[in-house]
Amino acid sequence: MKETQGRSGRGEPGRRARRGNADNPLKLAIVGNPNVGKSVIFNNFTGLYVTVSNYPGTTVEVSRGSTRIDGVDFEVIDTPGAYSLLPITEEERVTRRVLLEESVDVVLHVIDAKNVNRMLPFTLQLIEAGLPVLLVVNMADEAERLGIEVDAGLLEGRLGVPVVLTASTLGRGMDTLRRRIVEFISTSANRSANQLRFAYSDRTEKAIAPVEAMLEADYPISRRAIAIMLLNGDDEIRAFVSKKESHARELLGRVDEIAREVGEVTPFAYSIAMERQAAAVALVKGAVTSNAHPRSASTGFSGLLNRLTMNPLTGIPILILVLYFGLYRFVGGFGAGTVVDFLETVVFERWVNPFVDNLVRAFIPYEAIGSLLAGDYGVITLGLRYAVAIVFPIVGSFFLVFSIIEDSGYLPRLAMLVDRVFKVIGLTGRSVIPITLGFGCGTMATLVTRTLETRRERVIATLLLALAIPCSAQLGVIMGLLATRPVALLTWMIFIGVAFVVTGRLAAILLPGESPSFYMELPPLRLPSVSNVVSKTVARMKWYFLEIVPIFVLASVLIWFGKLTGLFDAAMRLIKPLVVAMGLPPETAVAFLFGFFRRDYGAAGLYDLAKAGALSGRQLVVASIALTLFIPCIAQFSVMIKERGIGVAILIAAFAFSAAFTVGYIANLVLGFLGVIG
């Protein structure tokens, strides 16, 4: 690829510099690969006052916040991780939509200082698209430890866009970044003249030129970039162009013709990617230097820990330690034990519930209406108690642990570690993210299955999340109940583990298709940033609590309505024979019925029965196994319908219902025969 200075090829009038104010802020989008520190920079700009919501028409979350720099107001958008403007995953599609649809005034492209060579092609794409790019070379501190030096000035001169070196976790370079952003927007009218324009090989340019010339409409990015995306076979861009061009049929026919001609030698997408990578290598020559021995990155404590976490012989014991201290001790012991006991016993049973019961009896003489608010199934005494006293501390402690693991860089290593095992059940290491997140919230995890590459993977992951992955509230309660009985806890883990593997293996055999190849960015292991961990935990808890409280209230209302009309008792009569067949007392049916509204309700119902001494040790284990495998809660089920379709969702729910009582029945027989748990 040859390099020339000049206009970026943007087909529209340049953006006018405008002064941002609170009513009309400038838009600043942060883009880049996963694990390059985008969120740390976002949090540095915005603090904790952010909104996290699904991008319209998708289930991909985008964080937004605001900041003021030298009197200029900005809306800051933290986009999902992306490797290219040619999307493969839903996250990449959303990132591109933000850039195409939101009239962004500044695009902060964040890259890893240790991998400038590999990440610069995305920068070149952004520049080629005519976007207002400011390059942030982050993680400079980690690069320096490896003997890597980046000459930001030289790189800036070659690219024609501002380049800023930062170490965002240390706050280093952030003041400079703010200053360069303000300078950048003040010189927006002239900046396109300085941006690098790429001339590809003659063969590639001959393919691009006629398509670019046929584009007549105005686009939010350069016509040159649109032409390249069309030649790459991008269906979204084809649909976009079809709506804007009056001669779209002729244009797209010509695109297909050129793509076929070029593809006879080498596929267009491959050849242009190789040329762009070659340009990146040439651009960084002399601007990025390494004074370290080639093996230095793999030596020292960090390198040793990196190898230990990915070697199965040492990685599995490390994983067991993480699970023991993170889930068992902290979530199960502290969250589901200490905190739940205090809120449940002291706050609600001693203060809140008696106060509400007395208040309702004093002011609401009608029992039917009063039972909606107070009593065994009241919105406050049941719904609010379960949400605040049981679910909130457990989910909060899980999300805190998850944020620490995520920010430390351990999660991608866990994905690499389990990839080979996951292939047995038709998944790849990438599935470790939704599966792990499922231990926090099955609803959220089902949404995250969208990041998986194939429909087969998404269906298998959804099935396993619905069947054998307890959410943090359910897990916390069950671990709290079984913690004092190690044999009981181990038995529960074995049955659930076997159900997970057997179901996954059967699904992998029965569903057509193969597991895709797996690759994942491996960020360095680092000490988690306190501010980053706190902001992620707060954002997740905000989402979860806003989602869960209305559902708990709705579930309480539905239970109240069911009790009032007799539907609740009718459902109980249907479930009781199945419960009794597992060797459980008939009143255990209420926990399963609650579990349909929310898994947390079911676990909390089991907690109440155990607390009242209604279950023996063996019955507690059997009930815990069956309840874990039981149909997903109504929130997760609704997301399954939305993501996988109503047919698949009903089949999964029916399978989970059958599996729960079948495995529970077998567990009761096995435990009774062995006589290991009284």
If one compares 648 and 443, the residue with the highest pLDDT of the two is: 648
Q: How far apart (Å, rounded) are the C-alpha atoms in residues 413 and 309? A: 7
The tokens for 265 are 């030698």
**Among 661, 598, 638, residue whose Cα is nearest residue 394:** 598
Q: Is it the case that residue 331 has pLDDT exceeding 90?
A: no
Q: Is it the case that residue 469 has pLDDT exceeding 50?
A: yes
- CATH number, domain at 28? 3.40.50.300
Residue 109 in domain: yes
The answer to whether 417 and 308 are in contact (CB under 8 A) is no
| Mean pLDDT, residues 251-264 taken together | 90
Q: How far apart (Å, rounded) are the C-alpha atoms in residues 101 and 80? A: 15
9 pLDDT band, cuts 50/70/90, is very low
| Mean pLDDT, residues 52-69 taken together | 73
23 pLDDT band, cuts 50/70/90, is confident
148 pLDDT band, cuts 50/70/90, is very high
DSSP bridge pairs for 50: 65
Q: Is it the case that residue 486 has pLDDT exceeding 70?
A: yes
Residue 377 sits at φ, ψ, to 5 deg, of -125, 25
Q: Which residues 6+ apart lie within 8 Å of 326 measured at CB?
A: 401, 404, 405
Cβ density class 575-588: b for 16+ within 10 Å, e for less: bbebbeebbbeebb
**Among 346, 343, 347, residue whose Cα is nearest residue 335:** 343
Q: What is the DSSP string of 298-367?
A: G-HHHHHHHHHHHSHHHHHHHHHHHIIIIIIIIIIIIIIIIIHHIIIIIIIIIIIHHHHHHHHHHH---H
- Look up residue 33 and give its DSSP letter: S
The answer to whether 499 and 661 are in contact (CB under 8 A) is no
DSSP bridge pairs for 134: 108
Residue 594 in domain: yes
Q: What is the pLDDT of residue 630?
A: 93
The tokens for 376 are 């065994």
For 29, the 3-state DSSP assignment is strand
| Mean pLDDT, residues 429-450 taken together | 83
Domain boundary (180, 198, 216) is at: 198
The tokens for 244 are 């804007």
The type of residue at 461 is A
Q: How far apart (Å, rounded) are the C-alpha atoms in residues 67 and 459? A: 41
| Mean pLDDT, residues 208-226 taken together | 94
Q: How far apart (Å, rounded) are the C-alpha atoms in residues 547 and 442? A: 13
pTM for the structure as a whole: 0.69
For 199, the 3-state DSSP assignment is strand
Q: Is it the case that residue 472 has pLDDT exceeding 80?
A: no
Domain boundary (165, 198, 231) is at: 198
DSSP bridge pairs for 28: 76, 106
Q: Is it the case that residue 54 has pLDDT exceeding 60?
A: no
**Among 203, 161, 162, residue whose Cα is nearest residue 1:** 203
- What are the C-alpha distances in Å from 87 to residues 23, 106, 235, 525? 33, 21, 10, 28
149 pLDDT band, cuts 50/70/90, is very high
Angle (deg, nearest 10), helices 235-244 and 248-263: 150
* % of the chain at pLDDT higher than 90: 39
pLDDT digits (tens, 9 = 90+) for 522-560: 777 888 888 778 888 887 788 777 766 676 677 778 878
Q: Which residues 6+ apart lie within 8 Å of 363 measured at CB?
A: none
- Look up residue 113 and give its DSSP letter: G
- What are the C-alpha distances in Å from 646 to residues 455, 547, 642? 15, 22, 7
Please give the order of strands across the beta sheet that includes 133-138.
Answer: 50-54, 61-69, 72-78, 26-32, 106-112, 133-138, 163-165
Q: How far from chain centre, in Å, is Cα 320?
A: 23
For 112, the 3-state DSSP assignment is strand
Q: Are residues 43 and 171 in the same domain?
A: yes
Question: What DSSP element (H or E) covers 91?
Answer: helix 90-101
The type of residue at 442 is G
56 pLDDT band, cuts 50/70/90, is low
> If you average pLDDT over every residue of the chain, what do you get?
85
Domain boundary (144, 175, 198) is at: 198
146 pLDDT band, cuts 50/70/90, is confident
Residue 632 in domain: yes
Q: Is it the case that residue 461 has pLDDT exceeding 70?
A: yes
Q: Is it the case that residue 191 has pLDDT exceeding 60?
A: no
Residue 302 in domain: no
Residue 421 sits at φ, ψ, to 5 deg, of -65, -45
Q: What is the pLDDT of residue 48?
A: 60
Identify the residue whose tokens are 């671990």: 479
Q: Is it the case that residue 293 has pLDDT exceeding 60?
A: no
How many residues in total does the chain contain?
678
Cβ density class 12-40: b for 16+ within 10 Å, e for less: eebbeeeebeeeebbbbbbbbbebbbbbb
Lowest mean pLDDT among 29-43, 88-102, 398-412, 600-614: 600-614
The vertex-407 CA angle with 405 and 411, nearest 5°, equals 50
Residue 118 in domain: yes
* Other Cβ atoms within 10 Å of 67 Cβ, number: 19
pLDDT digits (tens, 9 = 90+) for 592-616: 887 777 676 677 778 788 878 888 8
Residue 29 in domain: yes
Residue 472 in domain: yes
Domain that holds residue 426: 312-513+535-674
Q: What is the pLDDT of residue 16?
A: 42
Q: Are residues 192 and 323 in the same domain?
A: no
Q: What is the pLDDT of residue 608?
A: 80
Q: What is the pLDDT of residue 53?
A: 58
The type of residue at 237 is I
Q: Is it the case that residue 10 has pLDDT exceeding 60?
A: no
Give how many domains the chain has, as a whole number: 2
Residue 425 sits at φ, ψ, to 5 deg, of -105, 20
If one compares 271 and 297, the residue with the highest pLDDT of the two is: 271
For 2, the 3-state DSSP assignment is strand
| DSSP collapsed to 3 states, 379-437 | HHHHHHHHHHHHHHHHHHHHHHHHHHHHHHCHHHHHHHHHHHHHHHCCCCHHHHHHHHH
For 81, the 3-state DSSP assignment is coil
**Over the Cα atoms of the chain, what is R_g?**
28
If one compares 449 and 135, the residue with the highest pLDDT of the two is: 135
Q: Is it the case that residue 125 has pLDDT exceeding 70?
A: yes
| Mean pLDDT, residues 301-325 taken together | 84
The tokens for 605 are 């119902």
* Other Cβ atoms within 10 Å of 286 Cβ, number: 11
Q: How far apart (Å, rounded) are the C-alpha atoms in residues 236 and 566? A: 52
Residue 212 in domain: no
Q: Where are the alpha helices (DSSP H) in 215-325?
A: 223-231, 235-244, 248-263, 268-284, 300-310, 312-322
β-pair type (106-112, 133-138): parallel
Q: Is it the case that residue 8 has pLDDT exceeding 50?
A: no
The answer to whether 451 and 643 are in contact (CB under 8 A) is no
**Among 373, 392, 430, residue whose Cα is nearest residue 559:** 373
The answer to whether 617 and 481 are in contact (CB under 8 A) is no
